A and B are shown apart, each in its own frame.
Chain A
Amino acid sequence: MQLNTYRRTQVRQIIGKGFKIPQRVFDTLLDEFNAFLVEDDRTFLYNVHYILYQKKNMEMTRKTLQSIVDTFVFLYEDASKEEERQKVKKQFDLLFDMLFIQRCFYSKKIEERAKTAQKILLHTTERLSETIETQELMIANISHEMRTSLNAIYGYLRIIDENNTLSGEEHQFLQKANSATLALKSLVNDILNVTKLNSGQLEIQKEYFWIDEMLMQCIDHIALEMKKKKKITLLTDIPFLPVQVYGDKAHIMEILVNLLSNAVKYTDEGTIRLEVIFKKQGKGYDVGFSVEDTGIGMTPEQIKTVFSPYSRFRTERQGLGLGLHIANELAKKLAGKLCVESTFGKGSRFELDIAFNEIKSSIVQVKDKHFCFFIDKLIHLSYRSRLEFLEKNGAKVYVFEKETEFINFLLTSGKTIPDMVFVTTGEEGYAKFDALIYYLRTLPIYKKTVFIAENIQQHLSLNFFDEVYEYYAPVTVYNKLLTVVNDENKNEEQNISLLVIDDTEMNLEIFKLFALKRFPNIRIDLAGGGYEGIGMFKIKKYDLVFLDLKMPGLNGFDVLMKLKKLDDIPPVYAFSADIYKSNIEKIEEYGFAGMIEKPLQPEKLFKIIEEVINAKNT
């Protein structure tokens, strides 16, 4: 089958329908096609295949197929002999096989490879999940052990410190050991937090709380660090929000303490400003917290990675660099937003926005109470708003700016003895009023008055004030302070029995030391294991039980199950270093009254004991 002039013209027309090809190229193409038909020379076939593959154009491939079919149909019909027709058919089959069938085979192969790749990906994902789970378990176990040991170290150091038995160089060593323990505790907590966040084990625990109270607690957390930096001042502007908001107080505090702590860490001189803005939004409030410092600031590059894990760019300062990463992740979990602005060399400003959709209007029980304030230095507006709030709630407020008038009032007030007296003054003034309180305490009429020193920004040894606040006491704690003073005698009269079950002797010892220091009249029995604890429980009545979860033999859950089979069991609190969500859920599921974390948090322990004492009284 030769392409004669007539056939060349016809083929040119057929191909010309689909493609615009220059004359010279067309001639070469037809020559190659002729060689393919006549001599089996495959140059044409290979060139067409290569072009189609390279162009990756479906439309072009379709048109090419159309042209090939039309051309071969024409050649087949135009062939005069059967032999020629068979040759045309054979070459068409060859061309079709090369251009399309082979590509289909290849595509099929690629599809199979994609399936294998998917299988590998699936397998890798499964193994990755297993690895993560194993790591989590490992970290949980390590953290448990670390926290248990830390519990002992932290507890013993605190007891030695509180006993004031060391002096001079030895006391300095103790302080250094204390500081290193706190750093280690913070590190273990950071690692645990990251693990919890990564594994979705973070427990959101909402409660109603007062924002100003929370902020005061945040400031308390950084008080020690602030004291070390003598050239920085903390300025606060915290307007009083007269409602309780519903949110995860502990985690919001964690974010804010981190921001404040960073501000202290990276500011050597100047100010740190803590501000809050409230905006009514529907039934709740949008609250914007901001922490601004005049510290070293960040470059634009540093800002980009500030929330990445281990991004501590200022390596000369302490820490692993996990804090801001945790803060940012926590903010996301709380449906909030953490933003940063910073100028290198000038300082940084972090803003945390959180929406509180649920609020509770609470009345502070200050009606008919008498509050006396002595303020002899400049104070900011938020203080005034608190005084207004007290008056609105029915309290009688007396404010003095002159020392003589204030002292006169206290000495001659007669029947209007104040329930609470607040003093904000200078260093010498506090010492003077401390002596005055000593005198007033000798008078029976002042037996129930609470004396509070506020805005103490330096370390002063005040012996007769009931409470001392770095900034000011939130109004929400006024009730509590009044109750504590009034109930002081009650507690002394109370006797309750506690059972603590833990396989680690050190834990038992520290627990006992802390509890008895605050509640010297309570009785504490210690059990070194599950069976021993159950045995003790059977022969004696207890008001409260603390139960370690991880013990050899019977673990805490098993012990609780056995205790539940006995009659009249008191509140049983879990005592554990495993603070994973799954563990917390399990604790709830088994019916523990609550959980107390290791290392032991004395304040939480005291609160639980107080509640049991109060419940017993009522």
Chain B
Amino acid sequence: MRQIIVTCKEMTEIDFIPTVIIGFYQSSMQLSFSRDCTVLKDRFPDVDIIGCSSESNIYDSIPHVFLKDNDLCVFVCLDIKKESYRIELHTPKSIVKKRETQDAAYSALIFCSHYFTNLEEVIRDIQQEKNIQPIFGAIAGVTASSKIQKGMIFWNGKYYNEHMLLWLVDQKNYLLEGKSIHHFQPVGFDMEVTKARENILYEIENRPALEIMEELVGHITKDTIESFEHPFFLRENSKLPFSDSPLCSIRSIDKKKGSISLYRSVNEHTKLKTGVSLGREEQEKQLQEFSVFKNKKNAVAFLFNCVGIKANLGLMEFVYLMDLKKKLHLPFIGFHSFGEIGPVNADDYSVLHNQTMSIAVLSEREDKECN
């Protein structure tokens, strides 16, 4: 599998004919992205171009994280066998019904334009009932925000803002693997969600959720929400320790109702704990976990970093990405997302979570290479 990662300025450096190109662009750069895709399509007429808007882009060269003033579109070009993958576009309502059981075993990358209320259910069904696993992916944007434009999915020259796109890759020929890490640890008492609907948390321990949280971490302001400081660990499976449960960030608060809106759905009777940031050494140890993918041949890594990580680390994020580059020793491309899909432990099912650094490594199977 040949591969190359380029920015729009480096597109002339593509020295093979790719079958699939995946590109990421900051929402405000949609025109530029459309133009770049046209150029690529003109040059490679048979190529499938998948795209996804992002809060900001990441790739494996300095400055690693694109800042708003110099944000460019980034693309990974892959020479992957046409018959070994398929691309599907779904609406969240249709996906479970429409998807047919596949004969071949597939793994998948999923890009969602924004968070859907049944997304966790879809992720679970795809893995357990359709037997597509592992799956990795990310949520491009939110439905509406004063600062952030709507998330968009791009495929075959068109943009979609209420959709999710599945790129299914045949497991016979290609291996998709990865994991998610985060920099938090659960602290305090187990608390129980006593009233919730969809992604809104109304009551914890029979008291207004916001009141409980403010008692615990102090006053919650717009700044603390935007800096993603106080994520929750949500434990639905009592057999799992809290540290293996998905993290979830606060999206907004309603002071009148005393409720907290989250970046994922929450059920009543779910147990939760607040997370506090790990120390630097612990964070570095976590990063070390990615070194299992180091030096894989003919591989490329997709990196989905939560916008929360960017908010937490600020300009220091590039230090972690430089470190990641050393540990992975693989080309990587990705973006800042509003939810990541991946397993907490390599052997677990993937889940939707926030505040993670999720990596998916796509590589050509070595036995196929020998053939």
Contact = CB atoms under 8 A, between A and B. Distances in A.
Interface residues of B, number: 25
20 contacts: A42-B63, A46-B62, A49-B318, A50-B322, A53-B316, A102-B314, A102-B316, A103-B316, A106-B313, A106-B315, A109-B227, A113-B276, A116-B229, A116-B230, A117-B187, A117-B276, A117-B277, A119-B218, A120-B216, A124-B187
Contacts of A42: 62-63
Contacts of B277: 110, 113, 117
Query: Across chains A and B, which 7 residue pairs bring their CB atoms closest together, nearest first?
Result: A117-B276, A102-B315, A124-B188, A50-B322, A113-B277, A46-B62, A53-B319
A119 B217 contact: yes
Given A116-B230, A117-B276, A124 B189 contact: yes
Contacts of B274: 120
A127 interface: yes
Contacts of A127: 189
B215 interface: yes
A121 interface: yes
Contact of A123 (B215, B312, B313, B318): B215
A611 to B, nearest CB: 51
Interface in B181-220: 187-189, 215-218
Contacts of A43: 62
Given A43-B62, A105-B314, A117-B276, A49 B188 contact: no
Nearest to B276: A117
Interface string A87-123: 0000000000010001101100110010011011101
Interface in B157-191: 187-189
B63 A116 contact: no
Interface of A: 42-43, 46, 49-50, 53-54, 98, 102-103, 105-106, 109-110, 113, 116-117, 119-121, 123-124, 127-128
B217 A120 contact: yes
Contact of A98 (B188, B313, B315): B315
A120 B63 contact: no
Given A50-B322, A53-B319, A102-B315, A116 B188 contact: no
Nearest to A116: B217
Nearest to A46: B62
A481 B189 CA distance: 60
A7 B319 CA distance: 30
Given A42-B63, A113-B276, A120 B314 contact: no
A123 B216 contact: yes
A582 to B, nearest CB: 26
B316 A106 contact: yes
Interface string B229-265: 1100000000000000000000000000000000000
A121 B185 CA distance: 13
A110 B318 CA distance: 17
Interface in B283-340: 312-316, 318-319, 322-323
A50 B320 CA distance: 9
Most buried by B among A98, A123, A127: A123
Contacts of A113: 229, 276-277
A91 to B, nearest CB: 16
Contacts of A50: 318-319, 322-323
Nearest to A105: B314
B187 A121 contact: yes
